Amino acid sequence: MSRREYLGIYIVKNPRTPIDRNINAEKLKQAEAIRAQREISLINEQYGFLDKAKQKMDFLAYFNDKLPHQDQKWEKIYKHFYKYVNGKCTFADITVELCEGFKNYLLNANHLNHEQKKLSQNSAAGYWSTFRGLLALALKEKYLTENINEHLDKIDTLDTRRQFLIAPEVQTLYNTPCKHLVLKAASLFSCLTGFRFSDILALKWENFTKNNMNL
């Protein structure tokens, strides 16, 4: 098997001066060093050796790169983890002990925007489950060499009583004056669709499509 990688390193095609020849030689050395590093990395992956280059990579940067493809919950988990590790964490730092500490952090943490309000256990359980999903992804992509999830337990969720409005109550809400029309419209929209407040805040015009069905 072979692997090709374009480094963006270019040499002078027909070097005529000593300077050009020296530049070419230096660039070839750099390219060869990168090739050797890639070869070592591939051998480490094939035989299960520890890849020191990946171990030194920034885990927070890896986490942050995943955020655009996920929902808002991932961003909140990232901010909590960033706070927990004081803004510094490599893949080598990802150990069972560190992750267990983050689990305990979530069980005792406050909301990011409401620092006086503690995270519910169900929220902590959801955040923890998603974080473990990130660890599984990092293992699949071979940034981690150990399945840390095997040593981590989940956070149990608590049964909660969900409250909802019945039709007469929604009608009462509709008839109740409110000086903030946008807030009232969002509340009614939530009642009719079942969307959470965070879901409504995340809505954009491109999320809506026209329906040509005749009703």
Q: Is the pLDDT of residue 130 over 70?
A: yes
Confidence of residue 31 (pLDDT cuts 50, 70, 90): confident
Q: Is the pLDDT of residue 76 over 70?
A: yes
Tokens of 15: 């070097």
Confidence of residue 46 (pLDDT cuts 50, 70, 90): low
Structure pTM? 0.56
Closest CA to 22 of 11, 31, 33, 6: 11
d(CA 158, CA 121): 7
DSSP 88-111: --BGGG--HHHHHHHHHHHHHPBP
More confident: 134 or 20: 134
d(CA 38, CA 40): 5
- Convert the pLDDT of each residue in 147-188 to its tens digit: 999 999 999 988 766 667 788 888 888 899 988 888 888 888
